[in-house]
Amino acid sequence: MIWRLGSLLLLVYALGFVLFAFTLGKPAPATAAAVDAAIVLTGGPGRIEHAIDVLKAHKARRLLVAGVDPSVTKPDLARRIPGARKWLACCVDLGSESVDTRSNAEEAGRWLARRDYKSLRLITSDWHMRRARYEFEKVLGAKYQLQTDAVRTEPSLITLFAEYNKYLLRRLAVWADI
């Protein structure tokens, strides 16, 4: 009986992983409505560049780069991202208060409230979007209109496996009220 239950749980876990791997976050459609703010989570290639492109396309009025190392400055980013200097100067805030996805959402919530924004576009890697969206919805509730915009990547099996486990553990922790 215990073997059957264990086998069933392992099968559900494995099928959940397959479903997770084949349903990664998607980019926002080109027709997506403009929002008050874009929030990009650091930690993956192409994320900040994509967020700057969102500003350039006037799909957001302002951008928060959440989770920035405190030693990183706007001139550092301007040197790394061609054509971004003007946008960094006028419309970008660097947030260095957060260290993980949950604190990214908390930092973003404070930033959104200070600016009295009502809508946001969440930008992160496709493999990270499910957990990021979950954290943002838990922290922000229904106060904000949330639009997701995943940056396409080619994640390794190890990256997917690690993210799937982080997502499951976070859901379990919330369910257990830990």
pLDDT, one tens digit per residue, over 23-72 is 999 999 999 999 999 999 998 899 999 999 999 999 999 999 999 999 99
Is 70 contained in some domain?
Answer: yes
Asked whether the CA dihedral 124, 16, 166, 169 is positive or negative, the reply is positive
Is 19 contained in some domain?
Answer: no
What single DSSP character describes residue 25?
-
Task: Report the domain count for the chain.
Answer: 1
Cα separation of the two ends of the chain:
30
What's the rounded Cα separation, in Å, for the pair 3 and 79? 58
Is 76 contained in some domain?
Answer: yes
Is 28 contained in some domain?
Answer: yes
Domain around 120: 24-175
Buried residues in 109-144 as b, exposed as e (16+ CB within 10 A): bebbeeeebebbbbbbbbbbbbbbbbbbeebbeeeb
3-state SS class at 170: helix
Is 143 contained in some domain?
Answer: yes
Convert the pLDDT of each residue in 95-122 to its tens digit: 999 999 999 999 999 999 999 999 999 9
